[in-house]
Amino acid sequence: MSTLDRQDATRVILSMVVSVLLIDVGINVILTDSPEVSEGLRGRLARYFGYGRSIESKLDRLIGPTDETSAEIATIGWLDSDDTSTRSALALPAKAMVSMYGMSFVRRIGQALEEIDPSITTRFIGGPGAPANHCYDAFLRDRNNHQAPVVVMGITANGVSNTMTLTGATWAFEFPFPYTYPLFRVVNGDLDRVDPIIETIDDFRRARKDRKSWTRWVQQLAENDSYYDPFLFRKSIFDSSATVRVIRRAWAQRRDQLALQKLVTAKGFVPNSPELQSIAAICEKFTGIARADGRFPIIILVNNRGFSDYLYQALSDFFKKTDIPYISTHNLAPATDPSNFIADGHFIEAADRAIAEELRGRILPYLSSEPAIE
C-alpha cells in the first residue's frame, strides 16, 4: 500500500466520520422535534427523526402535570377514567343500547350502527389499538354501570401480538399510549390476572416523579410485558443523537417483526400460541359473564390490513364449538382489498356500514328484551 493510498483512505474515513456527525447535529438543529414545528414538511421530517426517541422520553413529552397540559392521546384509554370521550351515553335509556368495548375500529362500527339505525344507542369504552385484555377488563369494570342488553367486544388481528402486555407504551413504540390494563394468561386452564402497578394517569404522573415507584413499574414490565425492551424503553443521553434514534427505530422494527414471526406465518396465526389461548379464554369468559348478566354478547373479529382472514381462521372453530356469537369482517370487508381501507388503516365508511349492518342483524332480536340490570 503506497503512502498516497493510505493518506487518501485516511482522509475518506475521517471525512465519513465527520459527515455522520454533521448529519447527526444537522438533523437535531434543523429538525427540532417540538410542537412549534409540527406542521409542513419540516414538521413531518422532525417527527420522522423523532420516532426513534426512547419510550420514556416520548411519554415525558406527552404527559404534563395536568390533563390540560398533556397530549389528548395520553389521557385516553385509562380504564378508571370518567372521560366522556371513552365513555359515552352512559345515562341514556337502556332499551336499544349497545355497550361496546374495543378500539377505534369498534368505535367506528358503533357510529355506523347509530347512523344506520337511529333507534340504537351505543356506548363505547376503549383505547387506541386496545388488545383483548384491555377490552375484557373494560367490560368487567363496566358491568354495573349500564343497562344495555347487548355487549360487544372487538378483537383486531394486529392486536393479537399485544396480548401479553400491560400497557400501550411498550408495543406502540413510535406513538406510545401510556394507558395500562391487566395481563391475562392461561395458567392450568384458567385465566391468571396480573394487574399493572400503574392504573391511572395520576398514578403515572406520581410514579414518573418518584424514582422508586418508576423502577417498580419498569421492573413489572420487564417481568411480564412481552414487548418490553430496555433499549427502546429507557431514556438516556443518546436520545439526543439522531443516529441513535434512527438505529433505535430500526431495532423496534426488528422486535416487532420477530414478535410477529413467532405468531404469524404465510398461512395464518400459529395455533395455540399463548396469545391466542389467552384471547380464546377471554372471549369465553366474556360470553359466559355477559350471559349470566342476562345480556347478549357478541364479538367482532377485525381482520385488519396485512392479516387476510387469519383471525377468523384462528378463532372461528373455537367460537362455534363453545357457542360464542361473533361476526368477522373478512367476508364483509376483505383485508386483501386495499380499497376497503383508508390511509391510516381503518375501514372506509362503506365497510364500517357493512359490518354495522351485519352486527345490527345479529343483535336486533335482543335489543327489545328486558335488561337484567336495572
Write out the residues near another protein by the rule CB under 8 A.
Answer: 1, 5-6, 8-9, 11-20, 23, 45, 48, 51, 243, 246-247, 249-250, 252-254, 257, 305, 334, 336-343, 345, 348
- What's the closest the beta carbon of residue 246 comes to another protein, in angstroms? 5
CB of 206 to another protein, least distance (A): 34
**For another protein, which is the closer residue by CB, 271 or 345?**
345
Least distance in angstroms from the C-beta of 337 to another protein: 2
Q: 357 is written with which cell numbers?
A: 349492518
The 3-state secondary structure of 170-184 reads HHCCCCCCCCECCEE
Q: Rank residues 83 and 174 by Cβ distance to another protein and give the closer one.
A: 174
Helix H or strand E segment including 327:
strand 326-328
**Helix (H) or strand (E) segment spanning residue 292:** helix 274-292
Our CB check for another protein shows the closer of 222 and 342 to be 342
Residues 151 and 161: their CA atoms lie apart, in Å, by: 24
By beta-carbon proximity to another protein, the closer residue of 11 and 209 is: 11
Q: Which of 295, 356, 297, 355 is nearest to 322 (CA)?
A: 297
The whole-angstrom separation of Cα 308 and Cα 329 is 10
Nearer to another protein, 118 or 338 (CB): 338
Residue with cell 337502556: 94
CA angle 102, 200, 175 (to 5 degrees): 60
CB-nearer residue toward another protein: 214 or 251: 251
Cβ-Cβ contacts under 8 Å for 90 (sequence gap 6 or more): 123, 145, 146
Grid cell of 337 as nine digits: 382489498
Is residue 224 within 8 Å of 183, Cβ to Cβ?
A: yes
Smallest distance from the beta carbon of 172 to another protein, in angstroms? 15
Least gap, CB of 374 to another protein (angstroms): 45
| Residue 131 C-beta: closest distance to another protein, Å | 21
> Is 6 or 141 the residue whose CB approaches another protein more closely?
6
Name the minimum Å distance from CB 281 to another protein: 31
- Minimum CB distance to another protein, residue 187 (Å): 34
How far is Cα of residue 178 from the mean position of the Cα atoms in its chain? 10
Quick one: 122 or 329, whose CB is closer to another protein? 329
Task: Report how far residue 27's alpha carbon sits from residue 239's, in angstroms, rounded to the nearest whole number.
Answer: 13
- For residues 63 and 112, what is the distance between their CA atoms, to the nearest angstrom? 32
Q: Say if CB 314 and CB 269 are below 8 A apart.
A: yes
